[in-house]
Amino acid sequence: MNAKQLAKKLKRQFKKIASDAVEFRGELTVEISDPCQIAEVCLYAKEELGFDYLVDLCTIDNDDQTPRWTAVYHLYSYSHFKHLRLKTSVSEEKSEFPTVTNVWATANWHEREAFDMMGIQFAGHPDLRRILMWEGYPYYPLRKDFPLAGKPSEMPDVAFTDPIPLEGGPFVTLAGGEDAATREPRVRNPE
């Protein structure tokens, strides 16, 4: 069975909330309109369609757009040797997705990272705590409203108190520069 056929089966099962599969560069994406049902969709994808591996779970900060948060589930089937991507979104006010740790145990670390870096909650997660930043860190560094220069810390015993992510930062990449050297990340001063 190919990936399009698997995506069509998913669409038939969840016709009210699943979009038609969109193909881009040979990869298929199905949008799930009801984020509260993403765990149910993932369970079906695993048990009925054979997507037995959660390759990655990442989140997107759409900043000032509505909905603000998008969760992207990258699935792989070892029985079909096919990939499928599921996407679902929530508003900034809700900022919560159901956990899929009961579907794939590896979701534990992926969801913790999304919580740690973006501040997104995963309802029902067995151990939702920071995984990269220290406990008590009050910010979410991958949000688009987090400044490139960083923010000062109120915890001098744990980390820097000055907002310096790297000496000489922030480092900015210029899109569409004349050559690779121009596009290379480096310090860009506004003056």
Which CATH number does the domain housing residue 81 bear? 3.30.460.80
Q: Is 60 exposed, middle or buried (0-12, 13-18, 19+ CB in 10 A)?
A: middle
84, containing H or E segment:
strand 82-90
Looking at the fold, whether 63 and 151 belong to one and the same domain comes out as: no
Total-model pTM: 0.81
Mean predicted confidence (pLDDT) in 171-176? 63
Whether residue 158 has pLDDT greater than 70: no
Residue 160 domain boundaries:
147-191
- Say how many residues make up the chain: 191
Looking at the fold, whether 8 and 29 belong to one and the same domain comes out as: yes
* Cα gap 99→120, rounded to integer Å: 11
Looking at the fold, whether 7 and 57 belong to one and the same domain comes out as: yes
Looking at the fold, whether 101 and 28 belong to one and the same domain comes out as: yes
Can you give the pLDDT at residue 153? 65
Can you give the pLDDT at residue 164? 47
Segment 100-156, tens digit of pLDDT: 999 999 999 999 999 999 999 999 999 999 999 888 888 898 998 887 766 766 665
Indicate the number of domains in the chain.
2
Whether residue 34 has pLDDT greater than 50: yes
Residue 179: which pLDDT band, with cuts at 50, 70 and 90? confident
Tokens of 23: 């193909």
Could you give the percent of the chain with pLDDT greater than 70?
79
